Amino acid sequence: MALNAARVSGARLSGAILALLVCLPTLAVLAVAISAPGPVKTAFFWDSVAGTGLQLLVGGGGALILGGAAALLVGTCRFPGVGLFSWTLVLPLVAPPYILAYAYSGLGGPGMPVRLEGPLAASLIYALACGPYVYLATRAALVSQSVCALEAARTLGASPLRAVVTVGVPLAWPGLAAGFALAAMEIAADYGAAAHFGAQTITTGVFRAWFAGQNPVGAAQLAALLVVTAGLLLALERRARGARGFAGGSSRWRALNPIALNGLSGWAACGFCALLTVLGAVLPFGYLVDLAVAAGDRIDWAGLVPAAADTLMLGVLGGSVTFTAAGLVALAAARGGRLGQLGLGAASLGYAAPGAVLAVGLLSLYGLLRQAGLVAGLGAGLGLFLLVWAYTARFTAAGAQPVAAGLERVTANMTGAARTLGAGFWARSLRLDVPLAAPSLLAAALIVFSEIVRELPATLILRPFGVETLATRAHALAADEQLAQAAAPALLILAIGVIPIVLLVAGIGRARAGQR
């Protein structure tokens, strides 16, 4: 017993240390922010705050409603095309907001029948791009749930819609909350789509102050505001999740028996999912294909092969490290009491900070170490190390939040039973937590890999000589306003992103807990 107690506190401690490492770049940004005696004036401050509020409300709210509704339909109902939609609805995840914005600015540009511009155009992009976060987290939460309650509701005579709304929504609550928190943080940190459509946000303010105003402290203070926003969102999410104690459910597992939507309601569900698929994937991706075809022989496909290889390398390398960190931090949070919870929160803060800001925070840490004579120049090894660190600082939240939601499936009773049977911390994690949270682990791995494959600003700043990803390639062409040529690397980003989606969707169906 004494040995077990020591192991548990060791696990707690390592979780806390890991969380600290993960949030160190965020802390560096906060340190810069408070290096001035008071607030540094930045232009259009309240407009920026209001602008970010609008994007969170309309873009984030849209993602919550669209992604949540899609997940509930696909997760609990049977209607025409549901098998196909279960994975097409994830597709927008492979396209970062900046690529969707770039496609939609062409589709809805000057002279087009439907003109998309201004802050609400950015909101639309965010709702489409971030809906899959809510969709994935909600589906993972639903799969981890016993659906007995849903069946009981139907048996008791509730209509399909009523059963889904009154029983399905509460069951999906942890997923909805976690998905919304992720979507909102991603939206708060995004620069590309907001800048593209001329939406003023805190993040566009960060870059205005930093790049144009040569005011790094003011920029860091704005970035600190984003970190505070992330803290608020996470606190809200925890509260929302804690207020609904349905995670305990039944411990009997049976195959899901979906509610059949017949006739009009079935076709309405089908139409809704089809519309989301068309707007989130078919239309923008089709537009990119069209552009690439039009650009034809001006596209240097052979030159994109090394970029694709570097992208995959960074995705696997950064993804593995980030996923591991996310899993351990989430595990420490689930089993490590208050310290673990604090660690999870701290490690998640970086998700709402723009990647460029985190990268510069890391650079200043590196500068301190270099001046102390502890490290050398930013060669290939160190550059890669810092880059992976930046990915981890930024994306641990994206992995840890779904895992934390999935681990709620593991009840105190189960842990107690395992402990009674003599299982230590690692044995319990291995034989209880991992299998039960498997769908959430898969979702987390997919999200983290996708995020890194398409990550731009940190990669741009920290990459070693000769490392070029598809995202940096697309950026170089887009920055040079060669939009047609930029379509080719953008399409390859999508293609690489689709691989784990296929694996995930194949996995989520099979990974139903209790079937192992």
Partner 1 sequence: MHRRALIRLFSPAALAMGLILAGCGPARAPAKTGEEQVVRVYSSRHYAADKALYAAFTEATGIKVETTEAGGEELLARLKQEGEASPADLIVTVDAGNLWRLTQEGLLQPHGDAEIDQSVPARFRDPNGMWVGFSKRARVIAYAPARISAAQVASLDDLTAPRLRGKVCARTSSNVYNLSLLASRIERTGPDAALAWARGVAANLRRNPPEGNDTAQLYAVAAGECDVALVNHYYLLRLRASTEARDVAAAAALAMVFPDQAGAGTHINISGAGIARHAKNRDAAVALLRFLVSVRAQGELGALNEEFPIRTDVQPAPALAALGAFREEDVPLTAFGARQAEALALYERAGWR
Query: Which residues, numbered 269-328, are part of the site for partner 1 (CB under 8 A)?
Result: 294-295, 316-318, 320-321, 323-324, 327
Identify the residue among 446, 484, 488, 493 touching partner 1 (CB under 8 A): 484
> Is residue 187 part of the contact set for partner 1 (CB under 8 A)?
no
> Is residue 70 part of the contact set for partner 1 (CB under 8 A)?
no
State in angstroms the smallest separation of the CB of 126 from partner 1. Answer: 15
Identify the residue among 349, 384, 437, 493 touching partner 1 (CB under 8 A): 384
Identify the residue among 171, 199, 270, 437 touching partner 1 (CB under 8 A): 199
CB atoms within 10 A of CB 254: 13
**Among candidates 277, 276, 273, 255, which has minimal Cα distance to 265?**
273
> Is residue 211 part of the contact set for partner 1 (CB under 8 A)?
yes
Which 114-133 positions form the footprint of partner 1 (CB under 8 A)?
117-118
Which 332-371 positions form the footprint of partner 1 (CB under 8 A)?
356, 359-360, 363-364, 366-367, 370-371
Torsion sign over Cα 69, 74, 80, 86: positive
> Is residue 197 part of the contact set for partner 1 (CB under 8 A)?
yes
For tokens 């939040």, the residue is: 401
Backbone angles phi, psi at 260, to 5 degrees: -80, 125
Q: Which span sits near partner 1 by CB under 8 A: 108-116, 258-266, 405-413, 416-424?
A: 108-116
> Is residue 81 part of the contact set for partner 1 (CB under 8 A)?
no
Give the nearer residue to partner 1 in terms of CB position, either 69 or 444. 444
> Is residue 398 part of the contact set for partner 1 (CB under 8 A)?
no
State in angstroms the smallest separation of the CB of 60 from partner 1. Answer: 20
State in angstroms the smallest separation of the CB of 207 from partner 1. Answer: 7
Helices 380-407 and 2-33, interaxial angle, to 10°?
120
Give the nearer residue to partner 1 in terms of CB position, either 244 or 370. 370
Give the nearer residue to partner 1 in terms of CB position, either 376 or 502. 376
State in angstroms the smallest separation of the CB of 468 from partner 1. Answer: 8
CB atoms within 10 A of CB 512: 16
Contact between residue 467 and residue 422 where contact means Cβ atoms under 8 Å apart? no
CB atoms within 10 A of CB 504: 24
Contact between residue 222 and residue 208 where contact means Cβ atoms under 8 Å apart? no
> Is residue 385 part of the contact set for partner 1 (CB under 8 A)?
yes
What is the separation of C-alpha 472 from the centre of its chain, rounded to a whole number of angstroms?
A: 20
**Among candidates 321, 320, 296, 318, which has minimal Cα distance to 471?**
318
Q: Look up residue 199 and give its two tokens.
A: 């939406």
> Is residue 472 part of the contact set for partner 1 (CB under 8 A)?
yes
Which 416-455 positions form the footprint of partner 1 (CB under 8 A)?
430-431, 434-435, 441
Contacts of residue 65, defined as CB under 8 A and 6 or more positions apart, other chains included, come to: none
> Is residue 152 part of the contact set for partner 1 (CB under 8 A)?
no
**End-to-end CA distance of the chain, in Å?**
29
Give the nearer residue to partner 1 in terms of CB position, either 9 or 482. 482
Give the nearer residue to partner 1 in terms of CB position, either 403 or 405. 403
Helices 337-348 and 216-242, interaxial angle, to 10°?
130
Give the nearer residue to partner 1 in terms of CB position, either 78 or 196. 196
State in angstroms the smallest separation of the CB of 421 from partner 1. Answer: 14
Contacts of residue 270, defined as CB under 8 A and 6 or more positions apart, other chains included, come to: 79, 80, 81, 82, 85
Reduce the secondary structure of 315-341 to three states and give it as a string.
Answer: HHHHHHHHHHHHHHHHHHHHHCHHHHH
Identify the residue among 126, 207, 285, 449 touching partner 1 (CB under 8 A): 207
Give the nearer residue to partner 1 in terms of CB position, either 74 or 122. 122
State in angstroms the smallest separation of the CB of 187 from partner 1. Answer: 17
